[in-house]
Amino acid sequence: MDIFLQQIINGLTLGSVYAIVALGYTMVYGIIQLINFAHGEIVMVGAMVAFTVIGWLAANTPLPPLLIVLIGTAAAIPACTAIGYALELFAYRPLRKAPRLAPLITAIGASIVLQQVAMMIWSRNPLAFPQIIPNMVFPVAGATITLIQIAIIMTSVVLMIALTAIVYRTKLGVAMRATSQNAPIAGLMGVNVNHVIAATFMIGAALAAVAGVMVGTYYGIAHYTMGSLLGLKAFCAAVLGGIGNLAGAMLGGMLLGVVEALAAGYMGDLTNNVFGSNYQDVFAFMVLIAVLVFRPSGLLGERIGERA
Amino acid sequence: MLEVSGLCVSFGGINAVKGIDFAVRAGEMVALIGANGAGKTTTLKALIGLLRPTEGSIRYDGVDLITVPVHQRITLGIALVPEGRGIFSRLTVEENINMGAYRRPDSAAVRTDRDGVYALFPRLAERRRQTGGTLSGGEQQMLAIARAMMSKPRLLLLDEPSMGLAPLMVRKIFDTIRTIAADGVTILLVEQNAKLALEMCHRGYVMESGAIVTHDNSAALLADPAVRKAYLGDHA
Ligand SMILES: Nc1ncnc2c1ncn2[C@@H]1O[C@H](COP(=O)(O)OP(=O)(O)OP(=O)(O)O)[C@@H](O)[C@H]1O
Ligand SMILES: [Mg+2]
Q: Residue type at B205?
A: Y
Q: How far apart are CA A16 and CA A151, in angstroms?
A: 11
Q: Collect all residues from B whose CB is shorter than 8 A from any CB in A.
A: 48-50, 69-72, 74-75, 79-80, 82, 86-91, 95, 98-100, 102-103, 133, 147, 151
The predicted pLDDT at position B180 comes to 95
* Residue of A46, A17, A63 lying closest to A155 (CA atoms): A17
Higher model confidence: residue A189 or residue A265?
A189
The residue nearest atom 9 of ligand 1, judged by CA position, is: B42
Residues B139 and B190 in one domain: no
Distance B12 CA to ligand 1 centre (A): 13
Minimum-distance ligand to the CA of B46?
Answer: 1
The distance of B153 to chain A (nearest Cα, Å) reads 11
Q: What is the CATH number of the domain that holds B4?
A: 3.40.50.300
Q: Is residue B82 part of a domain?
A: no
The predicted pLDDT at position A208 comes to 98
* Residue of A226, A300, A174 lying closest to A46 (CA atoms): A226
Selected residue of A189, A194, A195, A245 to mutate for chain B interface (largest B Cβ count, 10 A): A189
Q: How far apart are CA A85 and CA B37, in angstroms?
A: 41
DSSP state of A132: T
Residues A292 and A305: beta-carbon distance below 8 Å: no
The residue nearest atom 22 of ligand 1, judged by CA position, is: B41
Selected residue of B44, B47, B70 to mutate for chain A interface (largest A Cβ count, 10 A): B70
Q: How far apart are CA A223 and CA A43, in angstroms?
A: 11
The predicted pLDDT at position B234 comes to 66
Q: Which residues of B touch A189 (CB under 8 A)?
A: 71, 74, 99-100, 102-103, 147, 151
Domain final position from B131, B151, B171: B151
Minimum-distance ligand to the CA of B43?
Answer: 1
Indicate whether A302 pLDDT > 90.
Answer: no
Q: Which residues of B touch A178 (CB under 8 A)?
A: 88, 91, 95, 99
The predicted pLDDT at position B235 comes to 59
> Under an 8 A CB cutoff, do B151 and A187 touch?
no
Per-residue pLDDT tens digits for B130-140: 999 999 999 99
Per-residue pLDDT tens digits for A183-198: 999 999 999 999 999 9
Minimum-distance ligand to the CA of B208?
Answer: 1
Indicate whether A303 pLDDT > 70.
Answer: no
Q: How many CB atoms lie within 10 A of CB A302?
A: 14
Residue B99: closest C-alpha in chain A:
A189
Average pLDDT over residues A144-159: 96
Residues B11 and B113 in one domain: no
How far, CA to CA in Å, does B178 sit from each of A20, A119, B26? 51, 67, 15
The predicted pLDDT at position A198 comes to 97
Higher model confidence: residue A268 or residue A53?
A53
List phi, psi (to 5°) of B7.
-70, 125
Mutation test residue for ligand 1: of B9, B32, B33, B41, the one with most atoms within 8 Å of CB:
B41
As a three-state string, the secondary structure of B193-211 is CHHHHHHHCCEEEEEECCE
The predicted pLDDT at position A292 comes to 84
How much of chain A, in percent, has pLDDT values that exceed 70? 97
Distance B191 CA to ligand 2 centre (A): 8
Helix/strand/coil for A36: coil
The predicted pLDDT at position B45 comes to 96
**pLDDT band of A271, cuts 50, 70, 90:** confident
**What is the domain count for chain B?**
2
Residues B9 and B55 in one domain: yes
Residues B31 and B205: beta-carbon distance below 8 Å: yes
Q: Residue type at A306?
A: E
Residues B224 and B119 in one domain: no
Domain final position from B96, B131, B151: B151
Residue A182: closest C-alpha in chain B:
B88
**pLDDT band of A305, cuts 50, 70, 90:** very low
The predicted pLDDT at position A115 comes to 96
The residue nearest atom 30 of ligand 1, judged by CA position, is: B37
Q: Which residues of A touch B100 (CB under 8 A)?
A: 189
Q: Residue type at A172?
A: L
List phi, psi (to 5°) of A244.
100, -10
Indicate whether A308 pLDDT > 70.
Answer: no
ipTM value for the complex: 0.92
The distance of A187 to chain B (nearest Cα, Å) reads 5
Residues A197 and A31: beta-carbon distance below 8 Å: yes
Angle separating helix axes A226-241 and A101-122, nearest 10 degrees:
150
> Under an 8 A CB cutoff, do A191 and B71 touch?
yes
Q: Residue type at A209?
A: A
Q: How many CA atoms lie within 13 A of B98 on its CB side?
A: 21
Q: How far apart are CA B184 and CA A183, in angstroms?
A: 30
Whole-model pTM? 0.92
Residues A287 and A256: beta-carbon distance below 8 Å: yes
Q: Is residue B158 part of a domain?
A: yes
Q: Which residues of B touch A306 (CB under 8 A)?
A: 89, 133
Distance B16 CA to ligand 1 centre (A): 7
Number of inter-chain CB pairs under 8 A, A vs B:
69
Indicate whether A307 pLDDT > 70.
Answer: no
Mean pLDDT by 10 residues, chain B (236 residues): 94 91 96 93 95 94 91 94 95 96 90 94 95 94 96 96 92 95 96 92 95 93 88 68
**pLDDT band of A285, cuts 50, 70, 90:** confident
Minimum-distance ligand to the CA of B14?
Answer: 1
List phi, psi (to 5°) of B215.
-150, 145
Distance B96 CA to ligand 2 centre (A): 22
Average pLDDT over residues A94-110: 93
Residues B125 and B18 in one domain: no
Angle separating helix axes A3-32 and A171-181, nearest 10 degrees:
70
* Residue of B186, B191, B157 lying closest to B38 (CA atoms): B191
Q: How many helices (H) and strands (E) does chain A have?
A: 11, 4
Domain ranges of chain A: 13-128+137-227
Spatial neighbors of B233 by CB under 8 A, at least 6 apart, are: none
Distance of CA B226 to the CA centre of its chain: 25
Q: Which of A171, A190, A193 sits opposite B74 (nearest CB)?
A: A190
Q: Is residue B51 part of a domain?
A: yes
* Residue of B159, B29, B9 lying closest to B83 (CA atoms): B159
The predicted pLDDT at position B44 comes to 96
Residues B31 and B138 in one domain: no
Indicate whether A19 pLDDT > 50.
Answer: yes
> Under an 8 A CB cutoff, do A189 and B50 touch?
no
The predicted pLDDT at position A304 comes to 46
Indicate whether A130 pLDDT > 70.
Answer: yes
User: What DSSP string describes B6-59?
Assistant: EEEEEETTEEEEEEEEEEE-TT-EEEEEE-TTSSHHHHHHHHHTSS--SEEEEE
Strand pairing category for A127-128 and B211-217: unpaired
Q: Which residues line ligand 1 at a C-beta cut-off of 6 Å? A: B 11, 14, 16, 34, 36-42, 83, 192
CA terminus-to-terminus distance, chain A: 52
Q: How far apart are CA A108 and CA A28, in angstroms?
A: 15
Range of the domain at B115: 87-151
